[in-house]
Amino acid sequence: MLIRCHPFVLGPIKTAFLHVMQLNQEPRCISRKISEFANDNGVFDSEPFNARGIQNTFQSDSRNDIREWVFLPVEIIYHRPPERMKYNSYPVYQSKVMMDTDLYSPMAYDGLKSVLKTGNPIGYNKCFESTSNYGKVFVESNGLNYYGTYKEFAVIDNRLALSKATTYAAVKSPDTGSTEVKLVAYDSCGRICKSFCRVPGVVNDYKPCNGAIRVTTDNPKMYGRHYGESVSDLWTFPSNGHCPSTADSEYFIKFNCDFKNDWPWKKEEITKSVSTDLAKVPTPKERSTVKTSSSLEVGAVGSSIPGCLLGHRCVVARSCGPCVDGERLPCLKSYTMYAWCRGGRFNIRRCVGRSQFDPVRGQCTVNQHNGIPLM
């Protein structure tokens, strides 16, 4: 019988840092010694450092549920790193191997030398993949109006003069209110990549941005409700079985890892490219003084139930205006969505799983409904 060591928080996730030992005739998970890890002879079930994935908790505001996250495709443009000067692949002229430079180096070609110049930015003292033929670029999302982070990486080819790769960054779902998030990218040495955001209304035009974006449910969404939908939206699959393809316009944000010595977030560039973000993230003062345009009075003249559209298709049975902290109201014609007043303004929330909002209790409960939407 094969026994695996399981972490206690996130379920049965295989780890290379633990192994099974018999203590008092009972199997226990014990931390491996450094010598055991360094001299792995196959006794323990482990995996190479470069093969490990990243296990995210999908935690958002104290909840761990992947259904409360959406996925954005992110493109990585990667320049050849400066620390590895030559690879063991050389051009041959008249039967002579030219070992002055390798086949892939941009410095060997006049057309690339001038446009692909790199600097030597400071990185970590130990970079596990800096001299390898392949490496990783990590992409992180850090919530600005929610508590949650996500981390993933793209595998890139260190040999090529210029290459690109795709990964997918998860952020909190905007179904219950707009998501404000900061996206950053860096290589395995900790060197920051420059962020570029799509210019609204312009196809295939990207300008420098600071990576802080607001994700809403407005069209075009440019995200998938789950990883599979994000992949399907990014790629076009011809019905005749021809080769799938992608379009640059499907990415909202890209990162350029050019290894130059300049500051990755230039103030003048960010100022000029504010419009490249999905929406400008307001300051706390602006949030408290500006009335959102999505709060609108609805309902026919003479209706006995006035309504206020709070956004995200949520209409509550009251007039628009300040609310009392803690007040909770159901969204009309919805079983799961409700408005929760915090700080004098309503925030849209959604019940998860099989639960629905109970307006009497003011909380999500598992009840059977009679097929008629809440009114």
pLDDT tens string 95-148: 888 888 888 888 778 788 778 877 777 777 777 555 678 889 999 999 998 889
pLDDT band at 219 (very low <50, low <70, confident <90, very high): confident
Mean pLDDT of 58-80: 91
Alpha carbon 153 to chain centroid distance?
10
Percent of the chain topping pLDDT 90: 20
- Specify the pairing of strand 253-257 against strand 69-79: parallel
Nearest Cα neighbor of 23 from 3, 40, 39 is 3
Q: Which of 58-72, 118-132, 242-256, 330-344 has the lowest mean pLDDT?
A: 118-132
Query: Residue 371 pLDDT more than 50?
Result: no
Taking only the tens place, the pLDDT of each residue in 238-261 is 888 889 888 777 899 999 998 888
pLDDT, residue 180, reads 92
Size (the chain), residues: 375
pLDDT exceeds cutoff 50 at 168? yes
Rounded to two decimals, what is the model's pTM? 0.61
Quote the mean pLDDT of the chain. 75
- Give the pLDDT band (50/70/90) at residue 167: very high
Model confidence at 307, in pLDDT bands (50, 70, 90)?
confident
Position 85 scores a pLDDT of: 65
Please give the pLDDT value at position 310.
78
Q: Per-domain residue ranges for the chain?
A: 1-47, 59-82+118-281, 291-365
Is pLDDT of 185 > 90? yes
Q: Given this model, what pLDDT does residue 221 score?
A: 81
Q: Which residues contact 228 (CB under 8 A, 6 or more apart)?
A: none
If pLDDT is split at 50, 70 and 90, which confidence band does 52 have? confident
Planar angle of CA 154, 70, 222, nearest 5 degrees: 80
**DSSP letters for 164-230:** EEEEEEEEE-GGGS-EEEEEEEEETT-PBPEEEEEPTT-TT-EEE--SEEEE-SSSS--SBSSHHHH
CA neighbor of 251 nearest in space, from 280, 209, 190: 209
Which is higher by pLDDT, 167 or 6?
167
Binned at pLDDT 50, 70 and 90, residue 286 comes out as very low
- Please, which pLDDT band fits residue 300 given cuts at 50, 70 and 90? very low
Q: Which of 168, 173, 178, 163 is nearest to 250 (CA)?
A: 168
pLDDT at 5 over 70: no
User: What is the pLDDT at residue 373?
Assistant: 35
Confidence (pLDDT) at 33: 61
